[in-house]
Copies of this chain bind each other. A is one copy, B any other.
Amino acid sequence: MATMQEVAQRAGVSVSTVSYTLSGTRPVSAATRSRILAAMTELGFQPNAFARGLASRRSNVIALIYPAAERGLGGTVAEFVDAAARTARGRGYHLVLWPFGMDQAAQIRDLARQGLADGILLMEVALDDPRVECLQEAGVQYTMIGRTRRPEGRPWVDIDFERTTHDAVAHLAALGHTRIGFINHSRASLDEGYGPTIRAQEGFEQAMRARGLTPLSRHVDESPRAGRVATAAMLAAEPGLTALITMNEMATFGVVAELAQRGLAVPADLSILSIVTSPGVGDMTYPPLTTMHAPGAELGRLGVEKLLSLLDSTRADTSNALIPCVLEPGGSVAAAPAPGARADDGGGRPN
């Protein structure tokens, strides 16, 4: 690997001039610049990141902490990562992912304090998240993706689960639905204080009650199998159900399968609205699902921008961002059927 020294020699200039050419911090004449650039290409020069980081005390790297082991890496996360990486790159930063588990707060703190990253994006923030305290006390710049229970005074961006569930209920209510069920994430996620599960649950119940409707919901494990079981149970409990809001992709596949097996037509007999959905999931079933697409890309972009604004004190700190999911029309939502009009009222199996 060629060093700046060698580039300078070859171009017949001093090291500092090479440095200024690279950073643009001070003017360099066009002639000199082109000699230097030529020398760089000929030598295949790439600046040493450590020397640069040591001298400038900035790494131009932002780290994304994501517990890959616990949560898999779904489509929404992929969208997030991609958008975040692009945004960072556009601003001259590299985005790297640190696959730490939720319980490795101390290791995160130590690594963060080694200076390898200028700032940190913390994903899958739980309501009470020890990692946040660690970063705070480590004196590292960070931005949460998600929110702790009381996020005041800490930088974050998050999905607006309240608004998303409200919008979902409103959309269905406007189509005449009154018996609306909600299939949420697993009880395990609830128990461990997973924000989305809790906030969406509250949002759904509130939205239903605000309309004088009775909220019916279940926490369901993330599998098609669990989705089928839950669907059967909900139909048994509330035979008049005409719409389901789901926030659990794997379970949603099961919902669709179970309804098909029971001879219930989607959306004629029962509407399905899948919320906080990964890209592409809508087209995986027939009819294609009507979804409210999780704003992964938007979140990634805003998260990086917020973090960078923190690093660069000259840039105004944009306020925290709460982004709702947007409705993507599909074929699984329609007006509520007239009472008693359904082919198979009561929910028995067709054969």
Contact = CB atoms under 8 A, between A and B. Distances in A.
A97 B94 CA distance: 11
Pick from A283, A285, A350 the residue with the most CB of B within 10 Å: A285
The interface size bin for chain A is 35 or more
Interface stretch (A42-50, A142-150, A179-187): A42-50
Contact of A68 (B50, B59, B72, B82): B82
Contact of A263 (B78, B225, B228, B351): B351
Contacts of A283: 223, 225
A121 interface: no
B68 A115 contact: no
Main secondary structure of the interface of A (DSSP, over half): mixed
Contact of A99 (B50, B95, B114, B139): B95
Given A95-B99, A96-B96, A253-B224, A73 B69 contact: no
A160 to B, nearest CB: 24
Contacts of A82: 68-69, 99
Contacts of A226: 284
B46 A113 contact: yes
Contacts of A94: 98, 111
A49 B114 contact: yes
A278 B351 CA distance: 34
A286 interface: yes
A54 B50 contact: yes
A338 interface: no
A233 interface: no
Interface string A53-72: 11000010101000011011
Contact of A46 (B61, B71, B114): B114
